[in-house]
């Protein structure tokens, strides 16, 4: 399971969703962006004596922060369902937990074999050139004699 879906390595099952939500990377990012937008707005108000104008960038950043916080909340709330699915014995969960990693491992082995094969081909060409040059040298020496 991806790291972003995990709220803590040794999480307490008794914790409520709001505590787990605050641990998600998405929620932390949303808080950081919201804090940055808030500080930008404060600077703008401090620098201007007229009514502050909200820029489109601030609006986009605020919405992005809210979206990240919502994603963090959804991850925390649905974490139990994801864990139940992963631990179930459905064909799809078996495919995700057993077959996909096996295919990935086999793919790595195949890539390593392809590299070895190409290295062997290069070495074979070098040997053929070397033997050919040695043969030509021997023929040249015989013809001189």
The span from the CA of 90 to the CA of 95, in Å, is 9
Q: How far is CA 78 from CA 20, 21, 73, 124, in A?
A: 11, 10, 9, 57
Contacts of residue 97, defined as CB under 8 A and 6 or more positions apart, other chains included, come to 86
C-beta of residue 75 within 8 angstroms of C-beta of residue 7: yes
Nearest to residue 75, comparing CAs of 139, 27, 133? 27
Residue 6 backbone dihedrals phi, psi, to 5 degrees: -95, 130
Q: Determine the pLDDT at residue 73.
A: 82
Q: How many of the other CB atoms lie within 10 Å of CB of 78?
A: 13
The span from the CA of 32 to the CA of 8, in Å, is 19
Q: pTM (2 decimals)? A: 0.38
Each of the 145 residues of the chain gets a pLDDT tens digit; together they read: 344 445 544 555 556 767 777 777 887 888 888 888 777 777 665 555 555 566 777 788 888 888 888 888 888 878 878 778 777 888 877 777 777 788 888 889 999 999 999 999 999 999 888 888 877 776 677 677 6
Residue 126 backbone dihedrals phi, psi, to 5 degrees: -65, -40
Q: Is residue 21 classed exposed, middle or buried when 0-12, 13-18 and 19+ CB atoms within 10 A define those classes?
A: buried
What the block records as the tokens of 42 is: 């404060």
């Amino acid at each position: 399971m991806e790291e972003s879906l995990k709220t803590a390595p040794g999480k307490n099952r008794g914790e409520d969703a709001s505590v787990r939500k605050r641990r998600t990377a998405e929620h932390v990012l949303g808080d950081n962006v919201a804090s940055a937008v808030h500080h930008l707005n404060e600077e703008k108000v401090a620098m201007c004596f007229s009514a502050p104008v909200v820029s489109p960038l601030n609006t986009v950043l605020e919405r992005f922060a809210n979206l990240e916080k919502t994603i963090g909340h959804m991850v925390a709330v649905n974490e139990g369902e994801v864990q139940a699915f992963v631990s179930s014995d459905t064909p799809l969960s078996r495919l995700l937990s057993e077959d996909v990693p096996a295919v990935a491992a086999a793919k790595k082995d195949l890539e390593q074999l392809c590299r070895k094969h190409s290295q062997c081909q290069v070495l074979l060409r070098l040997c053929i050139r070397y033997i050919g040059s040695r043969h030509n040298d021997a023929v040249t020496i015989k013809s001189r004699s």
